[in-house]
Structure 1
Amino acid sequence: MAEPGADRTGAPLTVEQHLAQVLATVGPLEPVRLPLDEVRDLVLVEDQVAPLSLPRFTNSAMDGYAVRAADLGSPSEAAPVELRVAGEVGAGQATTRVVPRGEVVKIMTGAPVPDGADAVVPYEWTDRGATTVRITRAPAVGAHLRGAGEDVTAGDLLVAAGTRLGPRHVGLLASCGIATVPVRPRPVVAVLSTGTELRDPATALADLPDDAIYDGNSYLLAAAVEAAGATALRLGLVADEPQAFLDVLARLRAEGGVHAVVTSGGVSQGDFDVVKAALRPLGTVWFGPVAMQPGKPQGFGHVEGLPIFTLPGNPVSSYVSTELFVRPALRTMMGLEPVSRPLVDATLTERVTSPPGKRQFLRGTVSVRADGLEVALSVSPVGGSGSHLVGDLAAADALIVVPEDVTVLEPGSAVQVVRLTRPEEGL
């Protein structure tokens, strides 16, 4: 990491350079074995092989009667065949093991097929008799049976290492009696806001001092951490006192269980930039400018091995920084790819301007237009470029990327955008 512990006085880093120095110092977390109800969206680290076949035994696909097909002949509505019911079999209640010749066994869906039976007659083809049954239609041999092992055979590869586990994988593993699997765990991320002026949103407006504001950042960043797939530990507020900040870090290290820390505020050039004042003497955290707007003042490093992201205090700056730098690091820890949200092409609907030498990330909303098989995106700017405009941020679903060497884009210009939501979820 370049110049740890010092303010960078040379040219600002590019977005790519800062991301590279972050990712160079984080890696996948050590695997842990977790129960299935805790592994959704986590990455499997070992192949999972079937310990048994599915189905374990041949079972009925219908409610009806297990039969020997040869005993039925050619029944019809006009000339049904009538056979004795020798017993019944329910799922998990396999008390009748054999179908005697010339007889049938009532059977429920999922129940094991008794020996001798080679088909199931659905209820709909019978009079549903209990002692004897009248059958009006004969099934083919093998009809309405689920053969043992027809889905999965013992020894088959169920789920390969590297798979991000979804509901379908979890259901398959559980069906094969696999209750725990080794995965990359969710990083636990401590999130805190610095600033003596901050108050928790639970503070009544009548009790809010004239020079105080509500803390939105810790809630915003904790939600962004959770959206990235990690677990947020929102610590709330820290006053502008370096020792108070260091005490929080010391407590986190002593208690353990935290994989990273994200702070907002206190990293610029002000007289009360508590984060820089506390961490600069340690010599293990880099502070400096990144050629972007919003989010120019950045910091990243390690405190006794614990990664710490020190983000600017304006809410939009803090959120954009989380998307560009924190999210990729957390996904790297979880073994997820791609680590960054993809850039997608769109057409700009309105004129925008941008300062030279900085990559601008403007808030926008994306519209999708389908023309046959062609799908095109357009993007409209939302609000201004101010890094304090959290209302505009909430209204946006994308970031419009304006390159460093572009100062004006006219309507109809081709641009790239970062979509902040997964369209299929509408979130």
Structure 2
Amino acid sequence: MTTPNDFSRCIVQYDPHALPVSSAQAIVREWASPVTAVERVPLHDALDRVLAEDIVSPISVPAHDNSAMDGYAFDGAVLAGASLTGQPGTIGLRVAGKALAGHAFERTIKTGECVRVMTGALIPSGCDTVVPQEVVTREGETIHFPANALTCGANRRLAGEDLAQGQPALRAGRVVRASDLGLLASLGIGEVSVRRRLRVAFFSTGDELRSLGEPLDPGCVYDSNRHTLFAMLRRMNIVALDLGVVRDEPAALEAALRNAAESADVVLTSGGVSVGEADFTKQLVRTFGDVAFWSLAMRPGRPLAFGRVWSGGRPGAGQPALFFGLPGNPVAVMVTFYQIVREALIVMSGATVPPQPVITATSTQAIRKRAGRTEFQRGVATRDEYGQWRVTPTGSQGSGVLSSMSEANCFLMLAHEQSDIDAGDAVDIMLFDGLV
């Protein structure tokens, strides 16, 4: 296991000039440590929070045997005996009373009796089977139904069938979903312990960037990266700290990085990590932080820096924060976030990392691909009349063509060693649903 003091050995062990995506993901995974702070929150505030401890059921659910449907409860032993009415193959029983949900039938039934029950009503004493009302013929206070209409024990929900008292209901590390809130409420639990929400500070770099509402000077563009980063972080229920646009000036960048490290667990920047004359971010991080890698064998997203920055201005001084220096191109920002950053944020949130489903589809057209790098093209996946997945790239795959992400519903994941794809070849795709 790599430790923070082993960062230099990480740099030597992995080639930083063309690091495979899988190696980068492994390094990031090692450096992602969960936040330790825990807080108690009311149930309504627990949605999308990460459980800090196992939830053990304090009661059995359901607490008692109950009816799974509207019908009549009786002793199932009569099904094996002769018909009480003298009509071969037919059961006849006298209705002794009624049981509603929340209103139990109080006495034990006698031989030849049954009880009218509604869904959720307690199974009366002496009964273990419920015949649906749809198969019953009732004449006054007597019912008849075919003996072969059901088996003994049918349509009865057993006590503890959902959860038994003392059984773990939800495990630590689970991101609480809507169904989990209902489950916890069914156990009488009104508040839970959750991990502190992860704090991520982010800013864009570049003299050409303008914020919304500002006039566009010649050669300038509106900054879209901060808005996509904010949205992706918000979807993960992370505290997103928008530090705006920082100019390409070393002093301004250093101040922004130190301020971000002071206020957040993770710092994300976009731009400034390539090889241009004004790309200062990577240089600054190497000066007062640690850089594990800064270039990936990946398209889009080759210029990506990962390491650690310190609020005190030098390694070991002040507050540390993990650092991701993302590319400046909009599509590359999104691709690197989902393929490199997202899993680290899940781990740091204290959550169990769910496997992201990858499915196989048939490419509808030829795709040019150079072996030696992993590519994440944007595509539209559909299912044909036979239920098979088919995928088509969304036109131009340039890393600055943000519309390719808006039009797409999946990533085409072209592996490191893979080369050109022919029409009709099988390719792996990752659907955006549940990811983006």
> Is contact 1:222-1:232 (8 Å) kept?
no
Q: Could you tell me how far apart the structure 1 residues matched to 2:128 and 2:398 are?
A: 74
Q: How do 1:85-234 and structure 2 match up within 5 A?
A: 90-92=100-102, 97-98=106-107, 108-112=118-122, 134-137=141-144, 145-159=156-170, 170-181=181-192, 187-201=198-212, 203=213, 207-227=215-235, 229-231=236-238, 233-234=240-241
- How far 1:237 moved relative to its partner? 1.9
Q: Distance in 1 between matches of 2:157 and 2:35?
A: 42
Question: What's the CA shift for 1:193?
Answer: 2.0
CA RMSD of aligned residues (A): 4.8
Partner AA of 1:390 in structure 2? L
Shift of 1:213: 1.9
Match of residue 242, structure 2, among 226, 235, 238: 235
Deviation per residue, 1:205-224 (Å, 9 max, x gap): xx444443222111222333
Rounded Cα–Cα distance in structure 2 between residues aligned with 1:28 and 1:263: 21
Q: Which residue of 1 aligns with 2:315?
A: none
Equivalent of 1:311, from 326, 332, 338?
326
Aligned equivalents of 2:74 and 2:232: distance in 1?
59
Q: TM-score, normalised by structure 2?
A: 0.70
Cα gap change, 1:84/1:127 in structure 2, threshold over 3 Å: closer, same or farther?
A: same
Q: Is the 8 Å Cα contact of residues 349 and 378 (structure 1) preserved in structure 2?
A: no
Counterparts of 1:37-56 in structure 2 under 5 Å? 37=44, 46-56=53-63
315-324 vs 45-54, greater mean Cα deviation:
45-54
CA distance in 2 between partners of 1:208 and 1:145 (Å): 70
Structure 2 unaligned residues grouped into runs of 5+: 1-6, 78-82, 310-318
In structure 2, what is the equivalent of residue 380 of structure 1? 392
Percent identity of paired positions between Structure 1 and Structure 2: 34
Contact 2:19 2:293 in 1 (8 A): no
Q: CA deviation at 1:288?
A: 3.1
Tell me the CA shift for residue 352 of structure 1.
1.9
Is residue 2:414 matched to residue 1:401? yes
Measured in 2, the distance between the counterparts of 1:293 and 1:197 equals 24
Q: Is 1:330 aligned to residue 345 of structure 2?
A: yes
Cα pair distance change 1:81/1:45, threshold 3 Å: closer
* Contact 2:94–2:113 (CA under 8 A) maintained in structure 1: no
For the residue of structure 1 that corresponds to 2:294, the secondary structure is strand
Equivalent AA in structure 2 for residue 386 of structure 1:
G
Write the mapping of 1:25-104 to structure 2, written as runs, cut at 5 A: 25-30=31-36, 32=38, 36-37=43-44, 46-62=53-69, 74=85, 90-92=100-102, 97-98=106-107
Note the C-alpha offset of 1:403.
Answer: 3.8
Q: Distance in 2 between matches of 1:141 and 1:23?
A: 54
> 1:261, 1:307 within 8 Å by CA — same for their partners in 2?
yes
TM-score (norm: length of structure 1): 0.71
Residue 93 of structure 2 contacts residue 114 of structure 2 at CA under 8 Å; is this kept in 1? no
SS of the residue corresponding to residue 381 of structure 2 reads strand
**How far apart, in 2, do the equivalents of 1:18 and 1:63 lie?**
58
Aligned counterpart in structure 1 of residue 29 of structure 2, from 23, 26, 51: 23
Q: Find the aligned partners of 1:53 and 1:246 in 2 and give their Cα distance.
A: 57
SS at match of 2:144: coil
Kept in 2, the 8 Å contact 1:42–1:184? The answer is yes
Matched residue, 2:365: 349
Provide Cα deviations, 1:172-202, integer angstroms capped at 9, x if missing partner. 443233444556665333332223433344x
Are residues 382 and 62 of structure 1, via their aligned partners in 2, closer, same or farther at CA, if it must alter by over 3 Å? closer
Which runs of 5 or more structure 1 residues have no equivalent in the other structure?
A: none
Residue pair 1:230, 1:330 contacting (<8 A) in 2 also:
no
Q: Deviations over 1:212-267 (max 9, x none)?
A: 3222111222333445x35251515223044444444555555x5x4322111122
